[in-house]
Amino acid sequence: MNAHAPTQPTLCLLRLPHGAGIALPAYETGGAAGMDLRAAVAEDQPLTLPPGQRALVPTGFVFEIPAGYEGQVRPRSGLAFKNGITCLNTPGTIDSDYRGEVKVLLVNLGEEPFVIERGMRIAQMVIAPVTQVAVREVETAGETTRGAGGFGSTGVL
């Protein structure tokens, strides 16, 4: 039983042919926020990401995100710190109506080429609730104390 069990929705996963043998995305610890995603690159064709380059890395699964939720694809801090590997579009947005393969857009911001092997845990996915709002155009925006101040207007200390 994990920390979030009482209200747990179900994530349905469709395994694609090239995802055969890849471990299901999983929470590595009981209280983990994200499920680790693995690279479904070919066993005999690891993907080398040279410095400054990006690549779409397959996960091998279609994710059926429950209605009312989104999937956020986020970097793993270890890969970012040790190797400069991050998600270019972080957090990647997986819509609940998307039925294609989830892919991870990695970029190498490090100085060395990075080799992505089959089954490597390359990113993590957080499932988060989303609200779709009604959109309405207005003539004036409601007054606030902040007003138009932003981008550092409140200072640093």
Binding site for ligand DUT (CB under 6 A): 73, 89, 92-95, 98, 102-103, 105
d(Cα 114, Cα 91) in Å, to the nearest integer? 21
Cβ closest to ligand DUT, residue 41 vs residue 102: 102
Rounded least distance, CB 15 to ligand DUT, Å: 16
Q: Is position 52 annotated in a ligand binding site?
A: no
Cβ closest to ligand DUT, residue 102 vs residue 110: 102
Q: Is position 93 annotated in a ligand binding site?
A: yes
Cα distances (angstroms) measured from residue 151 to each of 38, 62, 155: 37, 39, 9
d(Cα 142, Cα 140) in Å, to the nearest integer? 7
Query: 104 with 44: CB under 8 angstroms?
Result: no
Asked if the peptide bond before residue 91 counts as cis, ω within 30 degrees of 0, the response is yes
Rounded least distance, CB 151 to ligand DUT, Å: 25
Rounded least distance, CB 23 to ligand DUT, Å: 19
Q: Is position 97 annotated in a ligand binding site?
A: no
Q: Is position 89 annotated in a ligand binding site?
A: yes
Sign of CA dihedral 37, 43, 45, 50: positive
Q: Is position 76 annotated in a ligand binding site?
A: yes
Rounded least distance, CB 101 to ligand DUT, Å: 7
Query: 85 with 121: CB under 8 angstroms?
Result: no
- Specify binding-site residues for substrate: 76-78, 89, 93-95
Residue stretches of the annotated binding site: 76-78, 89, 93-95
